[in-house]
Structure 1
Amino acid sequence: MLPLLHTFRAAAAAALILLGAAAGARAETIDTSSRPAIPLAQPLLLDVALAGTRLVAVGDYGVVLLSDDDGRSWRSATTPVASMLTTVAFADARQGWAAGHGGTLLGTRDGGETWNRLDSPATEDDSFLDLFVAGDGHVLAVGAYGLFCETRDGGASWEIRHVLEEDMHINRLTRARDGAILLAGEGGLLAISRDDGASFTPVDSPYEGSFYGFHQLRDGTWLIHGLRGHVFLSHDNGASWEQSPIDHEVLITSAVEYSEDRLVLGGMGGWLFVSDNRGRSFSARQAAHLAAVAEVTRTPGGRLLLVGDGGIEIVPVP
């Protein structure tokens, strides 16, 4: 379990990032079928995704926030839970899913305006840490202690699968540019699937600490990031790795390839790390208002948007 001050996508209910703790905040029992999300001046937000051109952010207390003006203004959506939502993903402008602590799985068919509970095979002690849309109606939900759930009917039914030999936290799934699914997790866990998640093959890891992102850059380079400022690049599909220097030993939670050469990483302490040479070196700066960055993304209008501990921040492109 992670020692970091309540890591975002995977930590205790008082924590912050889509990562890998397992202390699940149990879903609160709600008498009505739905309720407005709790308004918070500075919410703890853990993920953000695009539903068409709409931005959808999720976080603690079942909060879902929507923006239709490239992140300039936000409004609350309606949710049926008060548990921590750690992850959100969309197949298109209307159909999407959210998940989090207490084994919570939610679905929307109106771009995030309203959400319904989905029958979850997970228990109240389980925590989902990431969602991945693999194809038409095919969604993977992963989390703490090797939790791996799959639906092929858009969320109407789910099944638990065992894809790892050990019950390691699965922190992130991403799509490689060649179509493979890349998996990053606890204890140096790296794996790749070339059959849309039916099976995963281990990838040799250069580090025994946990990873929170595994990406393929535009030039084909693999990039991984994780605990204590560890960032590695591979130019030969994981056969060898080289470490990129980072000045601050903080957990790096997220990454976005902003342009062909520019890469931005976000992490604990509100740190941002910017590279203009495809990850070989980075310069550091801090967000103005966030105590930690859970997710960094590029908006449809080309703005750099951060969500995390303290809400939402749009920063000038470094």
Structure 2
Amino acid sequence: MLQTIRRIILAGAAVLGPWHAVAAQEAAGPRAVPAARVAHAATAGMLGTALAGQRAVAVGDHGVVLLSDDGGQRWRQARAVPVDSTLTAVSFADAEHGWAVGHAGVILATQDGGETWRLQRRAAQEDRPLFAVHMFDAQHGVAVGLWSLVLVTGDAGKTWDSVALSPPEGAKRADLNLFSLFTTPTGELLATAERGMLLRSTDRGQHWAYLASGYKGSFWAGAAASDGVLLAAGLRGSIFRSADDGKTWARVDNPGKASITALLATGQNVLALGLDGSVLRSQDGGASFNTEQRDDRAALTSALRLADGRELLFSRQGPLPDRR
């Protein structure tokens, strides 16, 4: 089994996505080791990002958590993170309260805007990493991961309860890997998954329904435009769009073949990022995209849009400088 995300990217055939490999050696570790504070933390691969008020927060390899209070000009490492497991996603309910998830089933929480973190959950023996987390508010949230793992909390993470999913139509069991979470303008929660599937919940993760796109590959990212149009993207540059609440899906033209790792929708403007440094932009709710190629061909992983409209891009080499 592959031991690092970097080896998966280089292999070029990551069925579980660029950051969704199961690190078996890490998961089998007998104890949690705090993340080391190092001078080169800003070059660590960043996999998940969120805004904590005006603060930008990024999480990634080796339990590194980076913080910026000046719009991404300077980054510093969080003071205390109790694990050195790969962190895959982060979500903030407000400027102070945030949650991060990752390998070994880890869930971390912060009450000071990401400066210090405490461990809420770790299930190393299960070998089931968590890939995404979404907090509706400071009490209610959902985390998802390998083999249809769904966890919900209604008490700020003091407890995380498992939700059993029914199998998709025609399947004998629920074993899809759930890669990302996003919400619609009406507050519905969607998860992107393998086999061209999405899952939707209207009750904050307690119950889920499947949406089949007709695609057979993995969706690593999803987003909803301001008018409720749904977008999902992933393996080999695939982008799919639904304008009828997920009933039917159409493939959006993308000549690129690099897998898409992130989608960011603001109004009708949609940003998609590729593993080969491709940046795709849409101004029509994802109906069409224009593509530009970064000269450095950085393996892009995540993006944030700041209040002033600027975009921060993140990669397997850490946060990227603003080119504008």
Please list, as runs of the form range in 1=range in 2, the aligned pairs for 1:18-57 lying within 5 A after superposition: 18=19, 20-24=20-24, 26=26, 36=37, 39-40=40-41, 42-57=43-58
Q: Which whole-Å CA distance do the structure 2 matches of 1:31 and 1:282 have between them?
A: 43
Unpaired runs of 5+ residues, structure 2, are 168-173
1:219 aligned to which of 221, 227, 233 = 227
Match of 1:81 in 2: 83
Unpaired runs of 5+ residues, structure 1, are none
Other structure's SS at 1:219 match? coil
The answer (yes or no) to whether the contact 1:175–1:215 under 8 Å persists in 2 is yes
The answer (yes or no) to whether the contact 1:97–1:105 under 8 Å persists in 2 is yes
Q: Which whole-Å CA distance do the structure 2 matches of 1:48 and 1:36 have between them?
A: 19
Please state which structure has a larger fraction of its residues in helix.
Answer: 2
Distance 1:300-1:7 versus aligned 2 partners, 3 A rule: farther
Tell me how far 1:315 sits from its aligned partner.
4.1
Q: Which whole-Å CA distance do the structure 2 matches of 1:242 and 1:179 have between them?
A: 23
Structure 1 counterpart of 2:44, one-letter code: P
Tell me how far 1:68 sits from its aligned partner.
0.4
Residue 205 (1) aligns with residue 213 (2) = yes
Structure 1, residues 204-249: CA drift from partner, whole Å, max 9, x if none? Answer: 2220111122322112211111211111111111222221111111
Structure 1 counterpart of 2:26, one-letter code: R
Match of 2:118 in 1: 116
Distance 1:143-1:111 versus aligned 2 partners, 3 A rule: same
Match of 1:236 in 2: 244
Identity of aligned residues (%): 36
Tell me how far 1:288 sits from its aligned partner.
4.4
2:188 aligned to which of 171, 180, 185 = 180
Structure 1, residues 13-52: CA drift from partner, whole Å, max 9, x if none? Answer: xx9845x433456266678877536733521110110111
Q: Which whole-Å CA distance do the structure 2 matches of 1:290 and 1:87 have between them?
A: 23
Distance 1:191-1:31 versus aligned 2 partners, 3 A rule: closer
The answer (yes or no) to whether the contact 1:25–1:102 under 8 Å persists in 2 is no
Other structure's SS at 1:232 match? strand
Please list, as runs of the form range in 1=range in 2, the aligned pairs for 1:1-318 lying within 5 A after superposition: 6=8, 17-18=18-19, 20-24=20-24, 26=26, 36=37, 39-40=40-41, 42-77=43-78, 78-120=80-122, 123=125, 125-165=127-167, 166-258=174-266, 260-289=267-296, 291-316=298-323
Size of the aligned set, in residue pairs, is 311
Q: Which whole-Å CA distance do the structure 2 matches of 1:67 and 1:275 have between them?
A: 27
Structure 2 counterpart of 1:137, one-letter code: Q
Tell me how far 1:314 sits from its aligned partner.
4.2
The RMSD of aligned alpha carbons is: 2.8
Most deviating of 24-33 and 41-50: 24-33
The answer (yes or no) to whether the contact 2:152–2:205 under 8 Å persists in 1 is no
Q: Which whole-Å CA distance do the structure 2 matches of 1:201 and 1:16 have between them?
A: 23
Q: Which whole-Å CA distance do the structure 1 matches of 2:133 and 2:108 have between them?
A: 11
The answer (yes or no) to whether the contact 1:132–1:139 under 8 Å persists in 2 is yes
The answer (yes or no) to whether the contact 1:287–1:315 under 8 Å persists in 2 is no
